[in-house]
A and B are shown apart, each in its own frame.
Chain A
Amino acid sequence: MEPLAPHEKIFVDMDILDDENHGGIACHECHGGNPDDPNWKTAHKGVKRDPTYPDATAACGDCHDEISEHYQKSLHATLKPYESVIGKRCNSKGVIGEKVEGAMGAHCSQCHSSCGQCHISRPDSVGGGFLESHFFKRKPPMQEVCTACHGSRIGKEYLGEHEGTSPSVHRQKYMSCDKCHTGEEMHGDGKEYANRFEVENRPSCVDCHESIYDKKAKNVITHRIHKDKTSCHVCHSQPYNNCASCHVGKDKNGLAFYKTKASWFTFKIGLNPLRSEKRPEKFVTLRHVPVHSETFDFYMKDALKNFNAVPTWKVATPHNIQLKTPQNASCNACHGNESLFLLDKDVEGKEKAANKGVIVPANLIPREQKWQPK
């Protein structure tokens, strides 16, 4: 993503007036400020840089009422997964809860999005700046919006920017994020979900690949045998990025910072901690997430006193799908291949308890197969 010069970030093209939907809305109607004041300093008093956050309905609701109302409960707005996971690890109200909440406000909640930060400008968390003047983009551009935030893992995986990996087969077919992640999914359906796996209209591989279990489909036997036993990613992902640790704090100027350890590449199959009717697979791909028992120590020692309540190896949906991968080259490329599975020895000592439910015991590793499908 090309960086923008400071003036480019806020340059407005006169052609915005030709926008039949938004061209008739005066700047100050959404942003506030004084449009008649020639002094830019006083004119900007009370100006809202992003009038669509935190309340999406304030600027967009008059016309886009349903979308802006639903959006308030979408994961991009609520950041519910942070709250629910850190809440479980902290599991404390009172002073500890307040301190952690304050720390999350200073760090985690900076990563929200809004109508404006998808359709008009780059997200604030990556420096902001108009996507193209102040034009309203019906479809947010992938690299300036989606992968600008979801970059180090999803973006680089999808684009094949990690050394030794190829772009996703979907990328090779020129698909952008919205092909799977529709506007309806992004805007939310008005229900509040705890995480993306609960979202009812989230994409699923079989939405497009619906015929893989058909009698005449290619590899039908393999697909049928593994149906509901492994997630699609187990067979079709390449190795992916894993992150470790994360310590947050504020520097001497009061500015928030974070420090993470160097990320690493691996591919690990583990037990599905989110097994349900909708997600019945026993085996899923797991990714180590950037968290540490001392993440919030700057704010309060031992704030995450229930650190082991949630695994540090989390269900992953790597975005670097390939039809053929080393693990699906033959049955025994995976069956009996211990190195693909998250074993006890792969997990750091102090994280073993947290990951007890996802570590694959030796007796659950699928055995070598003598039979091979034709």
Chain B
Amino acid sequence: MNYVRPIILVIVFSLFLIPTFPYTGQAYEDTQCFQCHTSAKKLIEITREIAETRPAQQSSETEGEG
């Protein structure tokens, strides 16, 4: 039974080596989505561009409380 303790130790230590979640955050940092949406400067430029071309979203005829 001398081999039981080392086996248990190996199993316990290996649990620490297994990631708890398929965490791939590092890879997502490189996507265009992340590059842009985490940059206030880029978002300001784009939202200004959108505002110039996009027609009004809400009617100015709305009156009263909703």
Contact = CB atoms under 8 A, between A and B. Distances in A.
Q: How large is the interface on B (under 10, 10 to 19, 20 to 34, 35 or more residues)?
A: 35 or more
A251 interface: yes
B65 A7 contact: no
Central interface residue in B29, B60, B64, by most chain A CB within 10 Å: B64
Central interface residue in B24, B28, B46, B56, by most chain A CB within 10 Å: B28
B14 interface: no
Given A23-B25, A24-B21, A28-B31, A40 B46 contact: yes
B56 A255 contact: yes
B22 A12 contact: no
Contacts of B21: 20, 24
A277 interface: no
Nearest to B35: A38
A22 to B, nearest CB: 10
Given A14-B38, A17-B25, A23-B23, A255 B32 contact: no
A259 B64 contact: yes
B51 interface: yes
Interface residues of A, number: 45
A5 B44 CA distance: 9
A38 B36 CA distance: 9
A26 B44 contact: no
A64 B27 CA distance: 25
B65 A251 contact: no
A10 interface: yes
20 contacts: A6-B50, A7-B47, A10-B43, A11-B43, A12-B37, A24-B22, A26-B31, A27-B31, A36-B32, A37-B32, A43-B33, A251-B59, A255-B58, A257-B62, A258-B62, A258-B66, A259-B63, A260-B64, A261-B64, A263-B65
Interface of B: 20-29, 31-34, 36-38, 40, 43-44, 46-48, 50-51, 55-66
